[in-house]
């Protein structure tokens, strides 16, 4: 009986989060009330308050259901310890774009964070998570490019710092542009092609490699 009650509570909580995700996506965080979420979840407003003390806590719980694109890149890079830092970095970014293109929940939550959420004082925790993710990602990029530079894999036309800043801007632009609903742009094909082209530019060319070994 206790187990069933606990399972029922988890199902109710998940239903509330599912409803919040859809209503926030449609109407935005500020314009949505907990009563609207309760109606969408087919529960009472009291049930919502039993699980979440306010809308901010509900938003944070919703956000915690997914990894942000920057976070999955960091995980892949932390797990990688090969002698091919540029290949690892390219693969991590391409996989992140592919996951974004296929994962509907991640798409909705990233859209909510980017276009449906006013970052007022109450939302500081969500804003801080995004900011910290971006900073951590850029530092991970920088470490990878510095490693490639030391291993003489980075083109002399690029410094590690400029390459890291450029890749961060490219990834952010690709994801934001796609979430805006551009009809002429496909993340699985055009997005990955942009990443491939970028890494072709920053990698030391075979011709230059021959010169260095000659």
pLDDT digits (tens, 9 = 90+) for 54-107: 988 999 899 899 888 888 888 878 756 678 999 999 999 999 999 999 999 999
Beta bridge partner(s), residue 154: 203
Percent of the chain with pLDDT over 70: 90
Q: What is the pLDDT of residue 40?
A: 97
Domain termination site, one of 12, 29, 63: 63
Residue 181's region, left for phi above 0, alpha for psi from -120 to 50, else beta, is left
CA distance linking residue 60 with residue 36, whole number of Å:
18
Q: What is the pLDDT of residue 136?
A: 87
Residue 43 predicted with pLDDT over 70: yes
| Same domain? 161 vs 198 | yes
Reported as a single tens digit per residue, the pLDDT across 93-145 is: 999 999 999 999 999 998 988 888 876 676 777 777 778 888 888 999 999 99
| Same domain? 113 vs 194 | yes
| Same domain? 116 vs 143 | yes
CATH of the domain at 194: 1.10.357.10
Q: What is the pLDDT of residue 160?
A: 97
Stretch 177-194: mean pLDDT, rounded?
87
| Same domain? 48 vs 131 | no
Q: What is the pLDDT of residue 38?
A: 97
Domain termination site, one of 63, 98, 116: 63
* Residue 55 · residue 31 · CB < 8 Å: no
Q: What is the pLDDT of residue 39?
A: 97
CA-atom Rg of the chain in angstroms: 21
| Same domain? 101 vs 6 | no
The string of DSSP letters for 75-104 reads HHHHH---S-HHHHHHHHHHHHHHHHHH-H
| Same domain? 38 vs 108 | no
| Same domain? 76 vs 170 | yes
Can you give the pTM of this predicted structure? 0.84
Residue 210 predicted with pLDDT over 70: no
Q: What is the pLDDT of residue 2?
A: 46
| Same domain? 139 vs 161 | yes
| Same domain? 174 vs 201 | yes
Overall number of domains in the chain:
2
The string of DSSP letters for 125-181 reads HHHHHHHHHHHHHHHHHHHHHHHHHHTT-B-TT--HHHHHHHHHHHHHHHHHHHHTT
Residue 209 predicted with pLDDT over 90: no
CA distance linking residue 174 with residue 163, whole number of Å:
16
| Same domain? 206 vs 128 | yes
| Same domain? 195 vs 98 | yes
Reported as a single tens digit per residue, the pLDDT across 164-182 is: 999 999 999 999 989 987 7
Domain span at residue 56 reads: 2-63
CATH of the domain at 40: 1.10.10.60
| Same domain? 145 vs 58 | no
Domain termination site, one of 63, 78, 112: 63
């Amino acid at each position: 009986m206790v187990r069933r009650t606990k399972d029922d509570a988890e199902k109710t909580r998940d239903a509330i989060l599912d409803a919040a995700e859809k209503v926030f996506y449609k109407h935005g965080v500020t314009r949505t009330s907990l009563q609207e979420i309760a109606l969408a979840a087919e529960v009472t407003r009291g049930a919502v308050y039993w699980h979440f003390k306010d809308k901010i806590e509900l938003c944070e719980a919703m956000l915690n259901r997914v990894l942000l694109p920057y976070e999955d890149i960091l995980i892949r890079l932390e797990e990688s310890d090969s002698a091919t830092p540029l290949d690892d970095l390219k693969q991590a970014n391409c996989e992140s774009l592919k996951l974004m293109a296929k994962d509907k929940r991640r798409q909705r939550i990233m859209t909510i964070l980017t276009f449906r959420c006013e970052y007022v004082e109450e939302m500081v925790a969500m804003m801080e998570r995004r900011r910290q993710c971006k900073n951590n990602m850029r530092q991970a990029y920088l470490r990878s490019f510095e490693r490639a530079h030391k291993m003489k894999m980075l083109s002399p036309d690029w410094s590690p710092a400029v390459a890291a800043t450029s890749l961060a801007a490219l990834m952010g632009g690709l994801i934001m542009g796609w979430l805006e609903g551009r009809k002429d742009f496909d993340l699985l094909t055009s997005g990955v092609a942009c990443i491939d082209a970028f890494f072709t530019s920053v990698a030391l060319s075979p011709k230059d490699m021959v010169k260095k070994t000659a």
